[in-house]
């Protein structure tokens, strides 16, 4: 896989710093996924050779599904594999009976795949704003809308895999009968058994794309505790068939082959070590950037879950920050751009006032974060951020020394994301 190396989002101002010397620190990409090595996948491939079974509910597919179910602490039957999360979202909306042509409420603050899936399911998008503290819509605000009788479905998104409370959404769905679907594309870890994101009533769709914390290249999985819903979903992924060759619904082919399952099984073999590394990188960023750091860390980052991206909110008065980082060889990427409503494909969709989304779109910056990144590279990124924000690099190095001293407490730092909320409250 090619490194994802991205420069600044906007054209560099003429005063932008330029690379001073070719002997500067090496380029640090924003992402550099690592899936299991060929040698780790090989034993599973040999099983496929021996089985002569390549797709359609094969042995490895079944085992991989079971491993996902164990990981999420649900029954084997509560998980369904799907070719990727975008198809998973589309088919989940269809399996939920959302009437084609009806309105689907969804945040604009998400990756375009969520919006594409809604349109592909035949629904009309209406974008809602997110809460500055959670980066998600507020279920109480949705429950108070006076147009709920026109709403066919609600799609919510766990931003970058972060945990949130499902209770308000489940209650809303139960009270109104409106299906809620959860785009939990990056929540593989938050959803783990005993993890901080509890599985509720609504189906949750996880992506297994190479850029995710647990990747198989292309793939996805759906978790739901409703067997009838899952049967409808599975049918839609398999030409409408389920247990016979009678097409009971107009399905498509969104199955997962034995080869993808082989990568999944090998990914599980490396998961404990990979998770430990992601957790160490997470902790290092938290130590470096801290609750009062130069930039705001994304909500709930490091609170008992890991993900494969690290986003921060950049101070509004330092808009040239990413350009400065790029000049020091550090790539950044605003993973969700300015929100879906800023994308040409979705610019015509109806929407509420998207004040917080617009602010996030202007200020959220994805920093380098990948499995093989070293702690030294994390330190270099954070030093560069401090320089770009006019903060003392020496003070942050001292904090780092304190944090890594053997006597330092390993207690989690309290929730750290308040910068955007403060800035919005101050009208900045
Ligand atoms: C929020 C969100 N939803 C959906 C997707 C789509 O996942 P997939 O690539 O598996 O289709 C992504 C992928 O990055 C995502 O970030």
Distance from residue 402's CA to the centre of ligand 1 (Å): 38
Residue 292: the pLDDT is 85
Distance from residue 89's CA to the centre of ligand 1 (Å): 9
Range 38-265 has CATH code 3.40.640.10 = yes
Which atom from ligand 1 is nearest to the alpha carbon of 88?
11
Residue 102: the pLDDT is 97
Q: Atom 9, ligand 1: which residue's CA is nearest?
A: 209
Which residue in this structure is represented by tokens 């704003």? Answer: 129
Q: Atom 12, ligand 1: which residue's CA is nearest?
A: 185
Q: How far apart are CA 256 and CA 251, in angstroms?
A: 15
Which atom from ligand 1 is nearest to the alpha carbon of 110?
1
| 80: nearest Cα among 191, 224, 198 | 224
Fold classification of 271-338+349-425 (topology level): 3.90.1150
Extents of the domains making up the chain: 38-265, 271-338+349-425
Q: How far apart are CA 367 and CA 285, in angstroms?
A: 10
pLDDT tens column, 86-111: 999 999 999 999 999 999 999 999 99
Residue 403: the pLDDT is 62
Under 8 Å between Cβ of 383 and 285:
no
3-state SS, residue 104: strand
pLDDT tens column, 265-287: 999 999 999 999 999 999 999 99
pLDDT tens column, 134-168: 999 999 999 999 999 999 999 999 999 999 999 99
Under 8 Å between Cβ of 361 and 334:
yes
CA 371 vs CA 153, 209, 273, 307: distances in Å = 36, 15, 10, 10
Residue 182: the pLDDT is 98
Burial class of residue 270, CB neighbours in 10 A (0-12, 13-18, 19+): middle
Taking the chain (428 residues) in runs of 10, the rounded mean pLDDT of each run is: 41 42 70 98 98 97 98 98 98 96 98 98 98 98 97 98 98 98 98 97 98 98 98 97 93 98 98 98 95 93 97 90 94 97 98 98 97 97 95 73 49 36 38
Which atom from ligand 1 is nearest to the alpha carbon of 207?
10
Which residues form ligand 1's pocket by a CB distance below 6 Å?
Answer: 84-86, 110-111, 113-114, 157, 183, 185-186, 207, 209, 220
Q: How far apart are CA 157 and CA 196, in angstroms?
A: 16
Under 8 Å between Cβ of 186 and 335:
no
Which atom from ligand 1 is nearest to the alpha carbon of 87?
11
Cβ partners under 8 Å of residue 375, min gap 6: 280, 281, 284
Q: Residue 18, by phi and psi: left (phi above 0), alpha (psi -120 to 50) or beta?
A: beta
| 160: nearest Cα among 124, 203, 107 | 107
Q: Which of 31, 35, 108, 113 to mutate to test the pocket of ligand 1 (most atoms within 8 A of CB)?
A: 113
């Amino acid at each position: 896989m090619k490194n994802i190396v991205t420069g600044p989002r906007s054209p560099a101002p003429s005063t932008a710093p330029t690379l001073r010397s070719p002997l500067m620190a090496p380029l640090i990409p924003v992402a550099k996924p690592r899936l299991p090595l060929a040698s780790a996948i090989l034993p599973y491939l040999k099983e496929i050779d021996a089985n002569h079974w390549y797709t359609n509910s094969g042995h490895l597919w079944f085992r991989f599904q079971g491993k996902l179910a164990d990981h999420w602490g649900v029954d084997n039957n509560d998980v369904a594999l799907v070719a990727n999360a975008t198809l998973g979202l589309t088919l989940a909306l269809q399996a939920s009976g959302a009437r084609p042509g009806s309105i689907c409420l969804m945040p604009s603050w998400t990756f375009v795949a969520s919006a594409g899936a809604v349109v592909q399911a035949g629904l009309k998008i209406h974008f809602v704003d997110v809460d500055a503290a959670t980066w998600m819509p507020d279920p109480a605000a949705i429950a108070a809308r006076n147009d709920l009788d026109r709403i066919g479905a609600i799609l919510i998104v766990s931003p970058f895999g972060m945990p949130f409370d499902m209770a308000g959404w489940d209650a809303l769905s139960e009270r109104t009968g409106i299906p809620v679907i959860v785009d939990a594309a990056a929540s593989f870890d938050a959803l783990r058994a005993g993890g901080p994101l509890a599985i509720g009533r609504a189906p949750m769709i996880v992506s297994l794309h190479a850029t995710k914390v647990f990747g198989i290249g292309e793939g996805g999985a759906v978790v739901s505790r409703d067997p009838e819903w899952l049967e409808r979903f599975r049918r839609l992924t398999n030409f409408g068939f389920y247990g016979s060759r009678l097409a009971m619904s107009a399905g498509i082919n969104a199955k997962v082959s034995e080869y993808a399952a082989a990568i999944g099984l090998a990914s599980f073999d490396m998961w404990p070590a990979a998770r430990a590394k992601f957790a160490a990188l997470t902790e290092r960023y938290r130590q470096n950037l801290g609750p009062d750091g130069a930039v705001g860390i994304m909500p709930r980052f490091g609170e008992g879950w890991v993900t494969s991206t690290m986003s921060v909110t950049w101070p509004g008065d330092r808009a040239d920050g990413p350009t400065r980082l790029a000049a020091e060889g550090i790539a950044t990427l605003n993973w969700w751009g300015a929100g879906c409503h800023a994308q040409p494909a979705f610019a015509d969709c109806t929407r509420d006032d998207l004040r917080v989304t617009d602010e996030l779109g202007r200020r959220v910056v994805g920093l380098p974060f990948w499995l093989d990144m070293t702690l030294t590279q994390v330190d270099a990124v954070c030093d560069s951020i401090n320089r770009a924000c006019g903060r003392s690099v020496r003070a942050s190095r001292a904090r780092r020394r304190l944090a890594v001293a053997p006597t330092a407490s390993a207690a989690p730092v309290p929730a750290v994301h308040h910068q955007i909320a403060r800035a919005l409250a101050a009208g900045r």
